[in-house]
């Protein structure tokens, strides 16, 4: 007579560790994408100012590119910030609740986040599709719909991170999302 081993199966334990590790790569890609967008934006805005006020004839491309990069930074960065637990939260009321109500409030919050993200994805895709045939005057090669792509992409990323939070719990205390200087380091 054989008996099943007590406790979680090894494959299940491996999956419970593998999924957050796989999502670490998605998180880091989000952070690097958002960070690169803000870096490039901070380089091209001074170029636009320089050409307008020093050279006397402003370049037409810096402003629309900066707006696109701000969309990337905002929506992709928001997904990374959600996973890192870096969004503003007022917990005065929930901290005073009993543990069971705190869990219910957290579940409600996650469900509302899923709803909001689904809305952003659905209408972001519709917006991209509706404007794909239009072009930006200053950048005729760039479809307007492409500039709206950060909306649904950021929404999908946030959906994934909300799902991860619901299944695996908050990832905000993991080393991948926390920058803690080494003791004695600067």
pLDDT 10s digits, 131-177: 999 998 888 898 999 999 999 999 999 999 999 999 998 888 888 87
168 versus 17: the higher-pLDDT residue is: 168
Rounded to an integer, what distance in angstroms lies between the CA atom of residue 77 and that of residue 59? 28
Helix (H, G, I), strand (E, B) or coil at 174: coil
Rounded to a whole number of angstroms, the distance between the first and last alpha carbons of the chain is 61
pTM, two decimal places:
0.82
Mean pLDDT score of the chain: 87
Decide if 32 contacts 184 (C-beta within 8 A). Answer: no
Mean per-residue pLDDT, 13-22: 76
With cut-offs at 50, 70 and 90, classify the pLDDT of residue 115: very high
* DSSP designation for 175: G
With cut-offs at 50, 70 and 90, classify the pLDDT of residue 111: very high
Count of C-beta atoms within a 10 Å radius of residue 153: 22
Find, among 156, 158, 161, 131, the residue nearest to 146 by Cα.
131
């Amino acid at each position: 007579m054989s008996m099943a081993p007590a406790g979680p199966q090894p494959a299940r334990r491996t999956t419970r560790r593998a999924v957050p590790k796989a999502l670490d790569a998605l998180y880091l890609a989000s952070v690097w994408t958002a960070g690169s967008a803000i870096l490039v934006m901070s380089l091209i805005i001074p170029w636009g100012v320089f050409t307008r006020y020093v050279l006397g004839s402003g370049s037409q491309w810096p402003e629309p590119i900066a707006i696109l990069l701000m969309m990337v930074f905002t929506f992709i960065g928001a997904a990374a910030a959600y996973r890192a637990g870096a969004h503003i939260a007022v917990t005065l009321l929930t901290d005073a609740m009993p543990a069971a109500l705190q869990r219910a409030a957290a579940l409600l919050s996650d469900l509302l986040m899923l709803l909001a993200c689904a809305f952003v994805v659905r209408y972001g895709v519709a917006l991209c599709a509706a404007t794909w045939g239009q072009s930006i005057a200053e950048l005729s090669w760039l479809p307007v719909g492409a500039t709206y792509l950060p909306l649904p992409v950021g929404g999908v990323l946030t959906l994934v991170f909300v799902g991860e939070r619901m299944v695996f719990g908050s990832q905000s205390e993991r080393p991948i999302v926390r920058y803690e200087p080494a003791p004695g380091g600067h």
